[in-house]
Amino acid sequence: MFPAAVPGGLTNGLDRDMVQKSLPMHDGNLNGGRPLTVAFVSPSWPPDAAANGIVTYVDQMVASLRRMGHQPCILGASGSGQWPGVYFLGREPRLPLSRLLDPLAFRVNPFYAIRRRNGEDLRQAAARAIAECGVELLEMEETFGLLQLIRPRLPIPVVVRLHGPYFANAEASEVNFGAAYRRRVRQEGVTISLADAISAPSAEILERTRARYGLPLDGASVIPAPAPIVSAQDRWRLDGCDRSRILFLGRFDRHKGGDVVVDCFCALARNFPKLRLWFTGREAEFLDDDGRSWSLAEYLSRRAPEVAGRVDWLDRQPNSALAAIRRQAFLTIVASRYETFGLVALEAMAHGCPLVATRAGGIAETVTDGVNGMLCRPGDPLDMASQISRLLADPLLAAKLGHRAGEDAARRYHPDQIASETAKFHRLQIERWIHREEAP
């Protein structure tokens, strides 16, 4: 979410009594209590401005919590415009000492200076949200370990949501495991240890985090990400799709498996001469095992020239355009080498799309092989091609899996249901915080 560093210059002065003020009761679904006022940190805003799973998660959570009568707000790390309940980082006046020392710090140690500024921006945005909205709890990701910069100065509990710990994603990405890697992993571990509570989208990432840092993480909760709300009539239909078109949503990089998709398509193309691939995602580069960097166009022309003319790159599409693209394709591919949860897979399920996804990380907790989708081995284009071939050869099976996927997403991952679980978890942390503060 942010560039990255170490603790530095923070200020206090927040009113704890104001934070814990009572709010009026509400007749909505409030889990048996008064409405909550919580803040979510988001990498950017508005949602269509970036293809980012955390932004999507925050958007859906905030909308559902508001429907339930709660009063959430957003701390946006970047973005533009004026949005009700959104506090953008970096909009507050800088402290006199920061204005004096920042130029020197940037010359001496840019990494430290950027990290310190990001921490101060986050603290100021949180302070303003607390002062103006009475925010009682902050939920933020673990990325770059920024919580350690602001924890001593926040008068409210903080839930760290394990959206994507770096140690778990690095092996699936093109990174080297040098000093920068070790520093970021260490900083995220400090943030996780400082959290008042941990929320995880999958049991897999929660257990890996416990093992990696040797932390018990008592009281942590597994709460999956919400699925988009898609009515039955708006879901994928066999009679409304193009059976010669398959879809991949993701970057062309090692993490998301863009290379695997191209290699898989080469295997499929020989047996399905009319098949075409939609490649939808922002421009990125794939780093191969020899350390060579490839763009999608280069990879197609050099490694897969026989199918280059049958691959249509659509670039990154706004969320508002993806529903029609999903419905038009015969099936959706998720090729990630690792995912803490796999929101792209869940989104395909919500739209009732036949799905072939890798058995990677938390995806297997959402997709049940042969029931609501097909699973394949990560990094194995031939196994992926085999599963796709089964569905291409049996459209009725594809339709059956897609129908079940849509039903499962609506039943198990409806955003109001996930928001209700989250609100209960947040309420528990607020109550614990107040009782801890009141204890002698």
Q: What is the pLDDT of residues 201-259, one digit of tens each?
A: 999 999 999 999 999 999 999 999 999 999 999 999 999 999 999 999 999 999 999 99
- Let me know if residue 131 belongs to a domain: yes
CATH number for the domain harbouring residue 40: 3.40.50.2000
Total domains, the chain:
2
The answer to whether 366 and 349 are in contact (CB under 8 A) is yes
Residues 122 and 243 in one domain: no
- List all residues 6 or more positions away from 341 whose beta carbon is below 8 Å from its beta carbon: 53, 201, 202, 205, 224, 225, 361, 362, 363, 365, 366
Residues 38 and 170 in one domain: yes
Look up residue 215 and give its two tokens: 């932390």
Q: Calculate the dihedral angle through the C-alpha atoms of 404, 386, 290, 247, rounding to the nearest 10 degrees.
A: -50
Q: Give the pLDDT score at 32.
A: 60
- Let me know if residue 91 belongs to a domain: yes
- Let me know if residue 305 belongs to a domain: yes
- Let me know if residue 7 belongs to a domain: no
pLDDT tens across 382-391, in order? 999 999 999 9
Residues 131 and 69 in one domain: yes
Residues 33 and 100 in one domain: yes
pLDDT tens across 333-392, in order? 999 999 999 999 999 999 999 999 999 999 999 999 999 999 999 999 999 999 999 999
Residues 183 and 60 in one domain: yes
Q: Give the pLDDT score at 21.
A: 37
pLDDT over 90 at 50, yes or no:
no
- Let me know if residue 3 belongs to a domain: no
- List all residues 6 or more positions away from 93 whose beta carbon is below 8 Å from its beta carbon: none
What DSSP line would sit under 176-212, residue for residue? --SHHHHHHHHHHHHHHHH-SEEEES-HHHHHHHHHH
Is the pTM above the cut of 0.95? no
Its domain, for residue 40, covers: 16-226+415-438
The answer to whether 414 and 296 are in contact (CB under 8 A) is no
- Let me know if residue 112 belongs to a domain: yes
Distance CA 382, CA 354 (A): 19
Residues 301 and 335 in one domain: yes
Distance CA 416, CA 423 (A): 10
Distance CA 24, CA 141 (A): 30
pLDDT tens across 384-432, in order? 999 999 999 999 999 999 999 999 999 999 999 999 999 999 999 999 9
Residues 333 and 431 in one domain: no
- Let me know if residue 214 belongs to a domain: yes
Residues 287 and 392 in one domain: yes
Residues 42 and 138 in one domain: yes
Residues 145 and 245 in one domain: no
For residue 382, what is the enclosing H or E element? helix 381-393
- Let me know if residue 375 belongs to a domain: yes
